[in-house]
Structure 1
Amino acid sequence: MRRRILLGGGAAVATLATIAGYRRRMAEEGLAIPAAPAGEQRLLHLPSEARGRTVDVYTAVPAGYGGGHGLPVCLILHGGSKRPADFAALGLGRFLTDAVRRGAPPFVLVGADGDRLSWRPTGGDDPQRMVREEIPAWCRKLGYDADRLAAWGWSMGGYGALLLAEAYPGFVRAVAAFSPAVQPDDDVTRSAGLLRGTPVGLWCGKQDGLYFDVRTLEKQLPEPKAAGSYADGRHNFGYWSRCVPNAFDFVAGALRH
């Protein structure tokens, strides 16, 4: 299935994963994906001034909510390996519909390609500015409610989501971070006090090499973490997929009003 739309003069093409590709990738990752339908998923190609290039932008709307008009947004900040083109195969649209069918208030997912820059500016390439300025503008053109935002990321993206919330207090209503790639002396951990007033969810596997650093970050939070857990698991989507339902419930609650 291919869908073409026009956003501000730039053509955007969306391609959904084939059933065969979806099943193959699911088996490779060992993912725990719900059986719910994916709803509307798109892969857009949009020009980013902040990054100085055209970037892939993934969007997902829960099944039964059409194009997602008026729904709040959970921003996706990816890790070092997966990109927006991979999100459909990871089952993100299915997790989204499943959350809503379990009673969570509906929201949409939007995530753009930030490369491997840890979601911070490097030279003239600024993925954080893209998330802060450009993605909300794209969301408004798509009809989403860009005044209600949360952020979710894993690994490098978990670090980036926390860094974003610290750099712009109040920009997002909550942060869900899976195994964020933090260190005890990095910017995110040292500046954790800036997260006061922003609910934070932290999830990390006990066999993850980042486990103790994430626990150190938790101790530096100005308020107790609002969601999250530590369970057996490694630094991969086999573990993270088991955390998505809880994280989406958390995000939905923060975006409710």
Structure 2
Amino acid sequence: MRSKPGVTRRGLLLGGPAALVAACAGRSAPVAAPPSAAPASSPSPLKASITIHRRHSAARGRDVDVVLMTPDGVPSTGLPVCVALHGRGANARTFLDLDLPAALTAAVRSGTPPFAVVAVDGSHYWMPDGGDDPHRMLTDELPGWLSESGLRPMAGLFGISMGGFGALNLARRRRDVTAVATCSAALFRTWPEARTRHVFASQDDWTAAEPLQHVDELPSRGLGVWCGDGDSFVAANRKLISTAHPEVARITPGKHTSEYWKGVLPEVLRFLGPRVA
């Protein structure tokens, strides 16, 4: 197993005080301006620790990115972990584009118990596809990578779109997972719907993996579901809500877009924190 040194980025917010203008007294001699006032206080920057390792996944037959995100000022050693699964056509770094690290710091500053979010590259709805098995990577390889980074085992799952499918499918088999959150989960009510994705080799393969076909195996406690009311998967998410009875269910204005996911991310992180801690 190989890893390369981590790369750390920090966000920064800048601010400055307004200038003061001095008035002159009614005499010809110039009067020195009073000293500048002390700078006005401003909020501390929303920074976060972001470390990216390159790992070889035998399960996937390739190298993958493992992106570790922790809140600012919190040592990563011993933190509980939520594993984040990205959507189709995306990758682990997508969560950086969604500003998850800053949202995580903000959530912890508002009182959410600190935790780490770890994302890894996946594909195929996080299911096996020939010699590429991202599901086995999550179950057999990721635990060792977390341990090597000084983190606790996976306690939570967070998935967007295809990642929502993967998170729910994995949660069926992992009773040690105490929290699962999905955004715009790419679920399918029928085989004809699923077949259009050209991911599932057969109806039997889809039936075996589709979370809506195994609702009785999903956790209700510690389950949160978010979806936009204009999302193409909203009907399937409504079915998930009505059958799985999640602890939190939110159908709010939005579509299957990064803007929607950014908007609900703070609430998702506040939901996950106490449940993975």
Structure-1-length-normalised TM-score? 0.83
The match for 1:14 is: 7
Q: Equivalent residues in 2 for 1:215-226 (5 A)?
A: 215-221=238-244, 224-226=245-247
The match for 2:234 is: 211
Per the TM alignment, residue 171 of structure 1 is displaced from its structure 2 partner at its CA by 3.5
Q: Equivalent residues in 2 for 1:6-155 (5 A)?
A: 9-14=2-7, 16=9, 37-66=46-75, 68-115=76-123, 117-146=124-153, 148-155=154-161
Query: Is the 1:17–1:89 Cα contact (8 Å) retained in structure 2?
Result: no
Structure with a larger share of its residues in strand: 1
Partners in 1 of 2:70 and 2:178 — Cα distance? 19
Partners in 1 of 2:118 and 2:263 — Cα distance? 20
Query: Is the 1:36–1:97 Cα contact (8 Å) retained in structure 2?
Result: no
- The one-letter code sitting in structure 1 at the alignment partner of 2:108 is V
Bigger CA drift: 155-164 or 130-139? Answer: 130-139
Sort the Cα spacing of 1:253 and 1:15 in 2 relative to 1 into closer, same or farther, 3 A.
closer
| CA-to-aligned-CA distance 1:117-176 (integer Å, 9 cap, x gap) | 100011111101111221121111101111x5100011000111001111x131411110
Query: Is the 1:70–1:145 Cα contact (8 Å) retained in structure 2?
Result: yes
The match for 1:230 is: 251
Partners in 2 of 1:249 and 1:102 — Cα distance? 9
Structure 2 residue runs without a partner (length 5+): 13-43, 191-206
Which SS does the other structure have where 1:218 is aligned?
helix
Sort the Cα spacing of 1:134 and 1:81 in 2 relative to 1 into closer, same or farther, 3 A.
same
Sort the Cα spacing of 1:80 and 1:191 in 2 relative to 1 into closer, same or farther, 3 A.
same
Which SS does the other structure have where 2:97 is aligned?
coil
- The one-letter code sitting in structure 1 at the alignment partner of 2:71 is P
- The one-letter code sitting in structure 2 at the alignment partner of 1:11 is K
* The structure with more radius of gyration: 2
Sort the Cα spacing of 1:63 and 1:129 in 2 relative to 1 into closer, same or farther, 3 A.
same
1:156 to 150, 159, 162: 162
Partners in 2 of 1:220 and 1:158 — Cα distance? 16
Query: Is the 2:98–2:261 Cα contact (8 Å) retained in structure 1?
Result: no
- The one-letter code sitting in structure 2 at the alignment partner of 1:14 is V
Which SS does the other structure have where 1:88 is aligned?
helix
- The one-letter code sitting in structure 1 at the alignment partner of 2:168 is L
Partners in 1 of 2:45 and 2:189 — Cα distance? 39
Partners in 2 of 1:82 and 1:9 — Cα distance? 23
Query: Is the 1:16–1:43 Cα contact (8 Å) retained in structure 2?
Result: no
Bigger CA drift: 47-56 or 196-205? Answer: 196-205
The match for 1:24 is: none
Partners in 2 of 1:106 and 1:18 — Cα distance? 19
Per the TM alignment, residue 88 of structure 1 is displaced from its structure 2 partner at its CA by 2.1
Per the TM alignment, residue 209 of structure 1 is displaced from its structure 2 partner at its CA by 1.0
Partners in 1 of 2:99 and 2:181 — Cα distance? 18
Per the TM alignment, residue 13 of structure 1 is displaced from its structure 2 partner at its CA by 4.4
Sort the Cα spacing of 1:103 and 1:138 in 2 relative to 1 into closer, same or farther, 3 A.
same
Structure 1 residue runs without a partner (length 5+): 1-7, 20-34
Query: Is the 1:47–1:53 Cα contact (8 Å) retained in structure 2?
Result: yes
Sort the Cα spacing of 1:197 and 1:178 in 2 relative to 1 into closer, same or farther, 3 A.
closer
Structure-2-length-normalised TM-score? 0.77
Bigger CA drift: 193-202 or 130-139? Answer: 193-202
Partners in 1 of 2:2 and 2:86 — Cα distance? 27
